[in-house]
Copies of this chain bind each other. A is one copy, B any other.
């Protein structure tokens, strides 16, 4: 599959590399045509890898991953161009983290809105699926980094788009399909984004970003 990856940071590079290794053709997009990091990545990642602007990567991909930092995501997607992503599956991996108030970060969008929803509103013709934003970059593409079963969440308004993303998560990244939980429409991004404040506290407490959560379910209670 042809995939555009927006963002040249650790998340973008990790996701793009894993997609190339899984056999996809991947174009990494950045703000400028000649971003040194993106060019170096494309050179090192093999013949299926290329680099260009956000618009180049978005036009190239049948599926587009938003791996930009949350504070820049709307701007990056505007630069990519609404038409270039229209009707495509847009996997939103970003978190609206605000580091300007110190550590641990707070959120730029939260409570009755989410960055996933803002992106869906900004790109009404795109089929936004929020996914992967609840684990660190290495774990996104290599779930066996944490032993046993643990969960990933996805949400979005388009069931077919969610099927496409579930397929990429399972076939290209190795997530067990039973461990990928569908939380409903894109408003559920409020849930997965607002999990981040707990994630950062767990990270601080564990001293290790290589962790995830497993949802453990008991029998449904009978009304007493």
Residues of A within 8 A of B (CB): 101, 106-107, 110-112, 138-139, 145-150, 153, 155, 181-184, 188, 190-192, 194-195, 197-202, 204-221
The secondary-structure label for the interface of chain A is mixed
A and B contact pairs by CB, cutoff 8 A, 5 listed = A106-B190, A147-B216, A188-B201, A191-B197, A213-B216
Interface pair B216/A148, CB less than 8 Å apart: yes
Interface centre among A138, A149, A181, A216 (most CB of B within 10 A): A216
Interface pair A208/B217, CB less than 8 Å apart: yes
Q: Oligomeric state, in number of copies?
A: 2
B residues within 8 A CB of A204? 183-184
Interface pair B138/A221, CB less than 8 Å apart: yes
Knowing A216-B212, A217-B208, A221-B210, say if A197 contacts B198 (CB, 8 Å): no
With both beta carbons as reference points, the residue of chain B lying nearest to A220 in the complex is identified as B208
With both beta carbons as reference points, the residue of chain B lying nearest to A201 in the complex is identified as B191
B residues within 8 A CB of A216? 146-150, 211-214
